A and B are shown apart, each in its own frame.
Chain A
Amino acid sequence: MSDHPRDANPNVEDVAPGAIDAEEYTIREGILGYVIGLVLATLLTVVSFYVAKSHQFWQPSVPIALVVLAIAQMGVHLVFFIHITTAPDNTNNILALAFGVLIVTLVVVGSLWIMYNLNHNLMPMDQMMHMQRGL
């Protein structure tokens, strides 16, 4: 019980997502956080568009690079705009987020996986038409 991080400081309250409630943050530091977020997000966006348009890269790697860049930018948004942190006051927010990410991954990866297999195992549509017409 006593070694739980919250018990070390009983004044640690949960923090609402999106809020920087802690008193030690000044307005100036808050604005600085948003500016850092904006710069990082702009940088990642520009790199994304460049990678997509450029023909210098090995083409099969481009979609993977784009997905990685997008996930990085989402992380930037979460940290600098929505103020999700790993501090104990954010445990609930992080857990809810982790559950959301789990469901999103299951839905997207599961759908793609199943549909990819179906596409491979089913007869192409034109052959099916021929079968039905008895040709």
Chain B
Amino acid sequence: MSTFEALQYDPYKLGRGYGEGGDGRDYATGHGERGPASARVIVGYGFWIFLLSDIVLFSCFFATFAVLRTATAGGPSGAELFEPWRVAAQTAFLLLSSFACGMAAMATRARSHLWTQAGLFVTGLLGLGFLLLEAQEFATMIVGGNGPDRSAFLSSFFALVGLHGLHVTVGLLWLGTMMAQVYFKGFQTKILGRMLCFNLFWHTLDIIWVAIFTVVYLIGVAP
């Protein structure tokens, strides 16, 4: 066996492909017949599991809020504090932001720098609008003496909605770094994987917001 043949000899198809019995498709041992999945799939799947654990974290805050919803301790209830127009605006901002993020993903797929940056910019702008509305709501409530220390209901409200707001803030920071990475490094495989994860994160935040506006702002206000 010559050196060249020895290098080609790959009975377990570890080289994923053209070894003995290989037909160029990437199956090998380790994952059924095909070998481990690509890094993109593994990273995406791992991030998906992180997001699901994040949703479990949120579910604890939701349970707390649902239990303490009526514990106003003589303070104002949700119906007196929440302003429907603001919730509607926040919902619209976040939904459109999620859509813009999807458009950025499509632009990335088309390898268009301009439209990727434009999509991400609109995503960030709408996300920022959402955050400003939330900050305004929190500030109004705290200045009116209805901060998280007023009642158990308000503690759980600030914890739940604040946790979501914190996620959006972190998401905006991530979005800024994503725009910079796409600008300076281009559409490398690594950057594409990060874009995928950011997309997942942003859409998941919108899913959690659906639960928040339903449980906190709509059911919470119901008579």
Instruction: Give chain A's interface residues, CB within 8 Å of chain B.
Output: 6, 10-11, 13-20, 27, 30-31, 34, 37-38, 41-42, 45, 48-49, 52-53, 59, 62-63, 66-67, 69-70, 73-74, 77-78, 81-82, 92-93, 96-97, 99-100, 103-104, 107-108, 110-112, 115
Contact among A14, A62, A77, A115 for B207, CB-based, below 8 A: A77
| 3 nearest A-B pairs in the assembled complex, by CB-CB distance | A16-B44, A100-B52, A111-B63
Which residues of chain B from 140 to 168 have a CB within 8 Å of any chain A CB?
none
Contact A107 B56 (CB under 8 A): yes
Q: Which residues of B contact A20 (CB under 8 A)?
A: 109
- Nearest chain A CB to B101 CB, angstrom units: 8
Interface residues of chain B, those whose CB is within 8 Å of chain A, are 25, 27, 32-34, 37-38, 40-41, 43-45, 47-49, 52-53, 55-56, 59-60, 62-64, 66-67, 84, 88, 91, 95-96, 98-99, 102-103, 105-106, 109-110, 196-197, 199-200, 203-204, 206-207, 210-211, 213-215, 218-219, 221-223
Closest chain A residue to B109, Cβ basis = A27
CB distance from A86 to the nearest CB of B (A): 16
A104 to B63, CA, bound (A): 9
Query: Do B218 and A14 touch across chains, with their CB atoms under 8 A apart?
Result: no
Cβ-Cβ contact count across A and B, 8 Å cutoff: 142
Q: What is the CB-to-nearest-CB distance from A60 to chain B, in angstroms, rounded to a whole number?
A: 10
Q: Are A49 and B84 in contact (CB under 8 A)?
A: yes
B interface secondary structure, majority = helix
Q: State whether A52 touches B56 (Cβ < 8 A).
A: no
Contact between chains at B109 and A30 (CB < 8 Å): yes
Give the nearest-CB partner of A35 in chain B. Answer: B99
Q: Is the Cβ of B45 less than 8 Å from the Cβ of A96?
A: yes
A59-B222, A111-B66, A111-B67 known; A103+B210 contact, CB < 8 A? no
- For B67, the chain A residues whose CB sits under 8 A away are 111-112, 115
How far is it, in angstroms, between the C-alpha of A99 and the C-alpha of B56 when the chains are bound?
10
Contacts known (A14-B37, A93-B48, A111-B66); A34 close to B203, Cβ less than 8 A: no
* Alpha-carbon separation in the docked complex, A20 to B200 (Å): 12
Given contacts A108-B66, A112-B63, contact A100 B56 (CB under 8 A): yes
Min CB distance A123 to B, Å, is 16
Taking CB as reference atom, which chain B residue is nearest A59?
B223
Tell me if B207 and A92 are in contact (CB < 8 A). no
Other A-B pairs, 5, CB within 8 Å; known A19-B40, A81-B102, A110-B63 = A11-B25, A18-B105, A20-B109, A45-B91, A74-B210
Alpha-carbon separation in the docked complex, A78 to B41 (Å): 18
Given A30-B109, A34-B103, A96-B49, A77 and B206 touching (CB < 8 A)? yes
- Contact A14 to B45, CB < 8 A, known contacts A31-B103, A74-B211, A100-B52: yes
